[in-house]
Amino acid sequence: MCGIAGVMTCNGQAPDPAMLDRLQNAIAHRGPDGFGRLVRGGIALIQVRLAIVDLVTGDQPLFGVSNDRQDGTALIGNGEIYNNPDLRAAMPNAAFRTQSDCEPPAFLYDMFGPSFADRLRGMYALAVHDPLQNRLVLTRDPFGIKPLYYAQNESLFAFASEPQALLAAGLGGNEPDRVRVAELLQLKFTTGAETIFPGISRVLPGETLVIEHGRIVSRHRATALPPGRPRAISHNEALRRVDDVLTNSVAAHLQSDVPYGLFLSGGVDSAALLALMSRLTGNRIQALTVGWQGAEGVDETTEALRLAKAMGADCTRIEMGEQDFWNLAPQIAACIDDPTSDAAVLPSWMLGRAARAGGLKVTLCGEGGDELFGGYARYRKQRAPLRWIVRKPRSGGVFGSTIPGLIGWRDGIARAEAAAVDRSSVQAAQFVDCQEWLPNDLLIKLDRTLMVHGVEGRTPFLDPVVADFAFTLPDHEKVGLKMGKKLLRGWLAGAFPQAGAWARKKGFKPPVGGWIARRGDALANQIAAQPGIAAVVPRDVVRAVIADAAGDSQPAWSLLHYALWHSVHVMGISAEGSIGDVLDAAVRQ
């Protein structure tokens, strides 16, 4: 797990060393264990390393068959290749020089060229320099678990693990795109390839770009989800197979040369991971759970601690209180450079900090369980007869029509819906989430809030073995009229009876509404006067939203988060102070 960046100049001249320094410094938090840099002609590759596998010889760049630092294929990567053992076994004559899981992809490139990533199983963002063809190849895993961004101008093409690195290098614009702002406010995330920063784009999940002379000359995209409609399968056969595929995936995700743990929420997904980790390792699993100070919010830590005890795991409860919120929210907004106003960024950041403090460099996480096994209420509403009488998911937006001028905010979702062809109605809703919500909200949140602490989050549900099985399940094995994840719950009831598999889903919601409401008018005035908010949201709307924060927390948090994000990432305000300090500084500037 690492951070990567690089530059390809259009004229073949060596990239500016000062620019390379700025790129490296901006992603240094992603790789506290070392760095590597390679400059060859007009190409520069930069990697900062969080050492997880092959602690001794796994430094990057890694090289292909020829192992020539000047003329051979060179690769840098951010992520984990879980089929590394299988790839090595399939190349018995290859002269591998390290045990790094990212070394086989360099050899695969020499064998197959830009299609090499089609053979990878894992989470990854990789960059390859092919000196024989004088080209740069970028690729990202099909679910978009690991991030990758790029920018280009008249003289160069540059890429990095985070857009803030490209901004630090003087690339792209930091004045937010108005359509992306509308998306952020209404959807809680932004869609598609273009980010909120003009001129900075995402490499899409599953996309491979080929760049020559500083220009993209071709692109190819692999899909995370299998084609076609649901396939017939008996319930008993589905139960047997779900055990096989989950066991296979969790075993692959446990490959590590450093201590690992689990984020345990008390829900179905993390309980399933706990059961499988315990079965596969026979060890006492180290788990972390987060709750709220006082009696506010949805707090499942009592359930998480009960499950850990039942499974013989060690679980530590950490707590976030109101004062933590006021003091830490600016730092949390600062780490989410590609913004999402999902309030779960708050507990995720707390868990990342606690994991690092507890000596855990790797944690397994439950992201993807809802999307693949049908956990959300919006999926249940797509089954007959409800689908004929309900609106499409995300039709209204967080603010509805209360903010004038928020145009185009649903266009990206509509494009994803149009692409969901030859799917059942439930699959179509899952497809849209896997195309947009998952990579651009949940996985950005997971990546940034953990990597800022030097912690790797692994997602066993987001695996091709799991996806090929789960996505093609009959709709009735995923969702009923009252409950989702039916098959997964049924499996968990047998594998871990103490887990309460059929309990109603509670979610993971911090009590931000109550915290915001207690600052009332004073906070509303600060938010309304913040320049980013003032340019988009009328003052009377801000006041009404904050006044209703205790009853409807998401609009209030969306405004506060955007005000903090804009203050830090657009205006350059330091994130070291409290919420009040940051907003006051933005108003004065």
CATH number of residue 46's parent domain:
3.60.20.10
Do 488 and 350 share a structural domain? Answer: yes
Do 517 and 464 share a structural domain? Answer: no
Domain membership flag for residue 143 = yes
**Which of 499, 524, 543 delimits the end of a domain?**
499
Token pair 């695996």 is found at 463
pLDDT score for 294:
79
Do 364 and 254 share a structural domain? Answer: yes
Do 242 and 115 share a structural domain? Answer: no
Distance from the first to the final alpha carbon of the chain:
38
Domain membership flag for residue 259 = yes
Domain count, the chain: 3
CATH number for the domain that contains residue 395: 3.40.50.620
pLDDT score for 56:
66
pLDDT score for 389:
65
CA distances from 260 to 6, 147, 334, 455 (A): 30, 22, 26, 10
Residue 314 CA to residue 324 CA, distance in Å, equals 25
Do 480 and 516 share a structural domain? Answer: no
pLDDT score for 54:
63
pLDDT score for 392:
87
Q: What are phi and psi of 102, to 5 degrees?
A: -90, 0
Do 544 and 485 share a structural domain? Answer: no
Domain membership flag for residue 344 = yes
Non-local (6+) Cβ contacts of 89 within 8 A are none
Which pair of structure tokens corresponds to residue 280? 């596969």
- Edge-to-edge strands, sheet with 156-160: 35-40, 43-49, 2-9, 156-160, 149-152, 201-202
Domain membership flag for residue 186 = no
Domain membership flag for residue 91 = yes
pLDDT score for 51:
76
Domain membership flag for residue 227 = no
Residue 288, amino acid? L
Domain membership flag for residue 504 = no
Do 530 and 416 share a structural domain? Answer: no
Do 124 and 30 share a structural domain? Answer: yes
Closest CA to 129 of 48, 40, 27, 31: 40
pLDDT score for 476:
95
| H helical segments located in 75-172 | 84-90, 103-112, 163-168
Do 299 and 416 share a structural domain? Answer: yes
The 8-class DSSP code of residue 438 comes to I
Domain assignment of residue 310, given as a range: 235-499
pLDDT score for 38:
96
Domain membership flag for residue 340 = yes
Do 420 and 310 share a structural domain? Answer: yes
Q: What are phi and psi of 177, to 5 degrees?
A: -70, 130
Do 431 and 302 share a structural domain? Answer: yes
HSE of 145 in the Cβ direction (CA atoms, 13 Å)?
Answer: 28
Do 12 and 110 share a structural domain? Answer: yes
Q: What is the mean pLDDT of each run of 10 residues along the chain (589 residues)?
A: 93 97 96 90 94 74 86 94 97 93 96 97 98 96 98 97 98 96 98 98 98 98 96 97 98 92 95 98 95 79 95 96 97 98 96 96 97 95 75 92 94 97 96 98 98 96 98 96 94 96 79 94 97 98 97 97 98 97 97
Non-local (6+) Cβ contacts of 377 within 8 A are 484
**Which of 499, 523, 543 delimits the end of a domain?**
499
Which pair of structure tokens corresponds to residue 76? 């840098």
